[in-house]
Amino acid sequence: MAIRKRKPNGSAPILEVRNLTTYFYTEDGVVKAVDGVDFFVRHGEVLGLVGESGCGKSITSLSILRLIDRPGEIVAGEVVFEGDDLLKKPMADMVDIRGDRISMIFQQPKSSLNPVFTIGDQIVEVFEIHEQADKEAAWEKAVGLLRLVGIADPESKAHTYPHQLSGGQAQRVMIAMAMALQPELLIADEPTTALDVTIQAQILDLIRELNEATGTAVILITHDLGLIAEMADRVAVMYAGRIVEEVEVETLFKQALHPYTQGLIDSIPVLGAVKERLNTIPGGVPNLIDLPPGCRFAPRCRAREEYGLSICTEVEPSLAEAKPGHKVRCWLYEDHSGHDAPLKPREAKARKKDRP
């Protein structure tokens, strides 16, 4: 399997998502699953997309590939991939891009494979879809890919059915399929959540190696900050359908700015530290149908109380650069003089006292 090394294209973004907005029109109301998301991915980089369950990470990735089905709809935004807005492309072009230039791997590797076909057939299908490959050559390539992703005895494994594979093997097969045509961008949606820890490490190593060898950019979606620390170059933190912080990975762990990110990092258990309980962020993710006005994190935010900011519950902050290369969506770092004046410390204290 020859590996094509992509030309490092400086730091130019390969994918730029601007104001991506995906709503689900349910009977209970409009679920704002993704509500104005902005981020970008550079050539060859690994971008981590972190957030709690239900914050819109997966919907963001499905929106990039335009795989949103009724009742969901991409309402607004741009997904600029190599200069073209994918949301403006005809569906037929989009189908060609999927799997060829952007591909995706999913959370449940075993259920992501079709149970009635051998894995060899399923990899061959990728070639059938995108190139007029002759069957035997495609089969050879499939076996080569299985070897590349570290499947032992690929010649005979190609003849097996998905139920004969372990979860780790199935995820390797999924990666083989996703990497078959050497896409420019790979979206990995919680690729290791369903796997046990040792297999997790192997799969992550594999993704990292492929990223380094082929220069394929990766969007790694996860709720696991440990995984981000290991894998990502840059991180975007999502909360309730919005990006709240975006920065290089080292900075995130050294100096997270957004109270939500700080809370996430604090809640990672530290080996050896004896604690009665793990740190948690109080409260839960807001209802995406009926979002609070102002900052979406405000109801759970400790910093807001500590600093006594009243504007948080009224006006939503914007995603702005607090420091060079470090974007955050929080009034602590944004000039709010144009809006309400913040509470004076004394008033804030008084308010705290009133609380039972």
Partner 1 sequence: MTSIPEAAALPAASLRSNSLLRLTLRRLTRQRNARVGLTILISLILVAAFAPLIAPYEPNRDLIGIEPVTQRQKPCIHLLGCPADQPQHIMGIDANYRDVFSRVVYGTRVSLMVGFTTIGMAILVGTLLGAVAGYAGGWADNVIMRFMDVLLAFPGFLLAIAIITVLGRGLQNALYAIAIVNIPHFARVVRASVLSIKEQEFVAATRALGASDTRILFLRILPNALPPLIVQGTLGIAGAILEAAALSFLGIGAQPPTPEWGTMLGTERNQVFTAPHLVFFPGIAIMITVLAFNLLGDGLRDAMDPRLAQVSKPR
Chain positions contacting partner 1, by CB under 8 A: 1, 62, 65, 67, 70, 95-100, 103-104, 106-108, 111-118, 125-126, 129-130, 147-153, 156-157, 159-161, 164, 166, 168-169, 172, 174, 177-178, 199, 202, 205-206, 209, 213
- The two tokens of residue 185 are 């961008």
Task: Supply the minimum distance, in Å, between the C-beta of residue 14 and partner 1.
Answer: 18
- Residue 323 in 3-state DSSP? strand
CA dihedral 81, 82, 83, 89 (to 10 degrees): -50
Q: How far is the CB of 1 from partner 1 (least distance, A)?
A: 8
- Which pair of tokens denotes residue 340? 């309400």
Query: For partner 1, which is the closer residue by CB, 44 or 259?
Result: 44
Angstrom distance (rounded) from CA 228 to CA 284: 22
Closest separation between CB of residue 94 and partner 1, Å?
9
Phi, psi of 29 (to 5 degrees): 140, -175
Of residues 115 and 356, the one with the C-beta less far from partner 1? 115
Of the pair 213, 348, the CB lying nearest partner 1 is at 213
Task: Give the residue from 118, 102, 90, 115 showing the smallest Cα distance to 64.
Answer: 102
Rounded least distance, CB 329 to partner 1, Å: 29
Nearer to partner 1, 49 or 285 (CB): 49
253 phi and psi angles, rounded to 5 deg: -80, -30
| Closest distance to partner 1 from the beta carbon of 249 (Å) | 23
* Cβ nearer to partner 1, comparing 26 with 267: 26
Q: Please classify residue 286 by burial: count the beta carbons closer than 10 Å to its beta carbon, then call 0-12 exposed, 13-18 middle and 19+ buried.
A: middle
DSSP 8-state symbol, 8: P
* CB nearer to partner 1: pick between 205 and 250: 205
At 60, is the secondary structure helix, strand, or coil? helix
Q: Least distance to partner 1 from the beta carbon of 47, Å? A: 18
